[in-house]
Amino acid sequence: MSTLRVAPGWCWYWLLVVTIVVAVFALSLLLAPAMLVQFFSLIMYASAGVIGDFGDAAVAYIRLIHGVLGAVMLGWATLMLWVICGPFRRLESGAWSMLSVSLLIWFVPDTAFSLWTGFWQNALFNLLFAASYAVPLACTYRQFHPLDPAPS
């Protein structure tokens, strides 16, 4: 009789919750653009109204970019949820790498660009976001990459 292998419960739930939070944040970029413009203004400029002072055309463009970003993030979160609920939960080969590589490919250029352009606040936000995934991924690494047995 074979037993079904599944990812450790708390790691799996942690990834699930974090990814749902990402999806909700993505939806808020689409559905509550004024609130998110104020949120990012507060984070980047220590005042909720600074971005609003850029002018109507600039604010409209920022809202467009936030909406596009929200749509892309929602697509990414949906795919991650599919991987987490299916292949990752079943400890299928490649599932850990699907999540990890996707996060790494986002984290490095986004954080580097944020620092290069002087928006260290976004880099810090990225670090917190990445850490929320890194903990359960680090804890499940050996389930997906067992040590090779010693040759006999």
Q: pLDDT class for 2, splitting at 50, 70, 90?
A: very low
Q: How many angstroms separate the CA atoms of 108 and 105, rounded?
A: 6
Please tell me the pTM assigned to this model: 0.86
Write the pLDDT tens digit of every residue in 52-73. 899 999 999 999 999 999 999 9
Q: Which has the closest alpha carbon to 72: 119, 109, 25, 32?
A: 25
Q: How many angstroms separate the CA atoms of 150 and 142, rounded?
A: 16
Write the pLDDT tens digit of every residue in 27-58. 999 999 888 888 888 888 888 888 989 999 99
